[in-house]
Structure formats: structure tokens, C-alpha cells
């Protein structure tokens, strides 16, 4: 479910809403899509989300940047581009 929500997000920079807050979000692909990055900054607030997904032969791996994995998963599942 998480990977489907991640993949459904647009590439590039866009605005979105999650948990009643608005964010500016950037999703980027690197190495032909084998590495993907998401960075989100809350507009008018202090929340920040940063994570990478690596598409390995053994399966996809989520690597949050200095935050709990659960925070990233909840954010991506709740995020609606606007």
C-alpha cells in the first residue's frame, strides 16, 4: 500500500495536504528510478519530511532521513496533491 501511494505522487515539485496541513513537496528519481527521494516542508509551519526509496533486486527499501519510518509512511499515505 505504501509503495503504491509513493508511486502515485507526481514527480517534481507540487503542493499537497496531509493531516490538515499544507506542504510543498518534491519527489525526484535518480539512477533510472532505482533511487527516489521525497522532501516535504510544511507551509507556515515547522514540519519536515525527508526519505529515500531504493528499488533493489531484493525489493524496495524505505530509508527515512533522521525520522521514524512510521512518520514517513503516515505522511505518504495521507498526502493528497492539490
Report the distance separating Cα 26 and Cα 39, nearest Å.
Answer: 5
pLDDT digits (tens, 9 = 90+) for 10-21: 999 999 999 999
- Does this model's pTM top 0.85? yes
pLDDT digits (tens, 9 = 90+) for 25-81: 999 999 998 999 999 999 999 999 999 999 999 999 999 999 999 999 999 999 999
pLDDT at residue 57, rounded to an integer = 93
pLDDT at residue 52, rounded to an integer = 98
CB distance 77 to 12 below 8 Å: no
pLDDT at residue 58, rounded to an integer = 94
pLDDT at residue 38, rounded to an integer = 98
Amino acid at each position: 500500500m505504501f509503495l503504491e501511494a509513493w508511486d502515485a505522487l507526481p514527480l517534481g515539485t507540487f503542493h499537497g495536504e496531509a493531516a490538515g496541513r499544507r506542504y510543498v513537496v518534491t519527489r525526484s528519481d535518480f539512477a533510472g528510478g532505482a533511487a527516489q527521494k521525497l522532501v516535504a516542508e510544511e507551509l507556515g509551519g515547522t514540519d519536515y519530511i525527508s526519505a529515500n526509496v531504493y528499488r533493489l533486486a531484493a525489493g524496495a527499501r524505505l530509508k527515512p532521513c533522521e525520522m521514524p519510518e512510521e512518520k514517513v509512511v503516515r505522511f505518504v499515505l495521507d498526502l493528497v496533491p492539490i
